[in-house]
Amino acid sequence: MSNNGITRRNVLRNGAGVVAAGALSAPMVHAQGTGGTLKCGFWDHWVPAGNGIMRELCAEWGRANRVEVNVEFITSVGNQNLLTINAQAQSRSGHDVLSFPTWEPAAKHELLEPMDDVMGRLAQKYGAVTPAAEYLGKVRGKWVAVPAVSGTQLKPACTRMDLLRQHAGIDIRAMWPDKPERGPGADGWTWDAFAAAAEKCKAANVPFGLPMGQFTDAVDWVGALMTSYGAFMMDERGNPTVRNNAKLRQAVEMLVRISRALPDDVWAWDDASNNRALISGRSALVFNPPSAWAVAKRDQPQVAEQCWYAPSPSGPEGRYVGYLPYFWGLWSFSRAKSAAKGLIEFLSERPQAERQTNTSAGYDIPPFLSMSDFKIWETEGPPTGFAYNYPVKPHQNQKTSVAFAPAPAEFAVQAYNNGLNTKLIARIVQGGESIDQALGWVERELTTIRRGG
């Protein structure tokens, strides 16, 4: 062999080289009959079964399309999901599909794959999307992420029927029955009536449990009230609209009145404090999705049996409810874009959306207004039908609201996370400032936000 120049050592060396070159240069060789791998990072649902249904749906779609779908769940506790999003955006690597909370699609839009094709097909089938989802998910007229079902929540009034009837003289179940109609007194369900009821309930030692800190529950209900007064702090072009804004002043006066009728410690409440207030039986009303009710059903069934959902009260400019959505987005650096779009579209379709909402006991809200008739909201209980008015339905004449809209998302997110609306009220009620002083402060803060872009 050595005479031919072919030695055993040369054969082994060249053979190893061929194997190594083949392995390294193979771009993406799949097992026979598969369509590649898709990596998904979904929000780790509060409702434990909420993760199970996502895993199940992804497996179903994967089998049908011969794609291996790897699903991970990323918690929002400690803002782990935000840290993951930012890390993946910096490194341009990670999952293909990721759950993006409220403001993140707009913040990361330059790194997200446009979703107009997916949303176009879905809109053809299911009609209009709730306006707040459009505000958050569209950048310069283009969808940058698809409003998700899993994790999206609304924050209407979760009331204690018995306490409201006893102390405020309001029969909330008759006013907002579990039928597509408005009961007696529904037209009088305004912020004025709400404030009067809050004062009576505080006097009866069962105050409304409305947080006034910097967490989302606080910012959302205050934002919904302001929107219902037409009180906007910043316009679509990012100009502060605080000075000489009569509507804003009117909304602030109402918020000051309501906050004086709340427990003294609401300035330090977080997103769990209002849940605890309801579950412990010490509060007559909170603005929250049915998670508080679900815990009460397990731990304090006598409290859960008295819960009933009503839409938000209305203001001079309409009725608005706090909306906190998730989005399913696709990184532009993903190498499995068509598969990812297929999965997102599948998850957004009515049958799959209904399964997600059913599994989460009605917590998850689909973005399409035509999907507000899922049976779960009529049958969930006790009391049966308590969540009928949890989603936005036509008879409520209610719209979704995001605090600090219609400001450009890049400014609104900063004002939202700084809790500028709740701090404005805290400065007046807790800090003893005049309304003018507090409005001057918020205008300076908005100007600072605007300057930085």
Partner 1 sequence: MAADGTLAVTTAAGAGSGRATSLQRFARRRSTIAFLMTLPLLVVVVGLVGYPAAYGIYLSTLNRRMTAFMEGDWLPTGLGNFEILFGSDTFWMVVWQSCIFAISAVLLKALIGFWLAHMLHHIPTKGQRKWRGMLLVPWVIPPALSTLGWWWMFDPSYSSINWILNIFAVPSVPWLGEPWWARASVIIVNVWYGAPFFMIMYLAALKSVPEQLYEAAAIDGATSWQRLRYVTLPMMANIISITVLFSLIVTFANYDIVRVLTNGGPRDLTHVFASYAFQVGILSSNIPRGAAVSLFMFPILAVCAFFVLRGVTRRNKEQM
Nearest CB to partner 1, comparing residues 71 and 107: 107
Query: What's the min distance (Å) between Cβ of 321 and partner 1?
Result: 23
Query: What's the min distance (Å) between Cβ of 196 and partner 1?
Result: 24
Contact between residue 326 and residue 152 where contact means Cβ atoms under 8 Å apart: yes
The burial of 317, by beta-carbon neighbours within 10 Å (0-12 exposed, 13-18 middle, 19 or more buried), is given as middle
Q: Does residue number 103 form part of the binding site for partner 1 (CB under 8 A)?
A: yes
Mark 205-244 with x for binding to partner 1 (rule: CB under 8 A) and - for no binding.
--------xxx-----------------------------
Q: Does residue number 426 form part of the binding site for partner 1 (CB under 8 A)?
A: yes
Contact between residue 95 and residue 39 where contact means Cβ atoms under 8 Å apart: yes
Which of the stretches 75-83, 254-262, 316-324, 377-385 binds partner 1 when contact is defined by CB under 8 A?
Answer: 75-83
d(CA 327, CA 152): 8
d(CA 69, CA 57): 10
Query: What's the min distance (Å) between Cβ of 29 and partner 1?
Result: 34
Q: Which of 133, 320, 445, 446 binds partner 1 (CB under 8 A)?
A: 445
Q: Does residue number 432 form part of the binding site for partner 1 (CB under 8 A)?
A: no
Nearest CB to partner 1, comparing residues 83 and 204: 83
Instruction: Please name the helix (run of DSSP H) or strand (run of DSSP E) that holds residue 72, with its range, or none.
Output: strand 68-74
Q: What tokens does 122 get?
A: 């879905």
Q: Which residues contact 343 (CB under 8 A, 6 or more apart)?
A: 38, 40, 58, 61, 67, 69, 97
Q: Does residue number 441 form part of the binding site for partner 1 (CB under 8 A)?
A: yes
Q: Describe the crossing of helices 337-348 and 116-126 by its angle, rounded to 10 degrees.
A: 20
Q: What are phi and psi of 366, to 5 degrees?
A: -75, 155
Q: Does residue number 79 form part of the binding site for partner 1 (CB under 8 A)?
A: yes
Q: Which of 11, 203, 246, 268 binds partner 1 (CB under 8 A)?
A: 268
DSSP assigned state of 39: E
Q: Does residue number 434 form part of the binding site for partner 1 (CB under 8 A)?
A: no
Q: Which of 83, 174, 203, 204 binds partner 1 (CB under 8 A)?
A: 83
269-298: contacts with partner 1 (CB under 8 A): 269-270, 273, 276-277, 282
Q: Describe the crossing of helices 246-260 and 191-203 by its angle, rounded to 10 degrees.
A: 20
108-167: contacts with partner 1 (CB under 8 A): 108, 110
The pairing of strands 153-155 and 318-324 is antiparallel
Nearest CB to partner 1, comparing residues 269 and 309: 269
Classified as helix, coil or strand, 113 is coil
Q: Does residue number 107 form part of the binding site for partner 1 (CB under 8 A)?
A: yes
Return residues touching partner 1 (CB under 8 A).
79, 82-83, 86, 103-104, 107-108, 110, 213-215, 263-270, 273, 276-277, 282, 410, 413-414, 417-419, 423, 426-427, 430-431, 441, 444-445, 448, 451-453
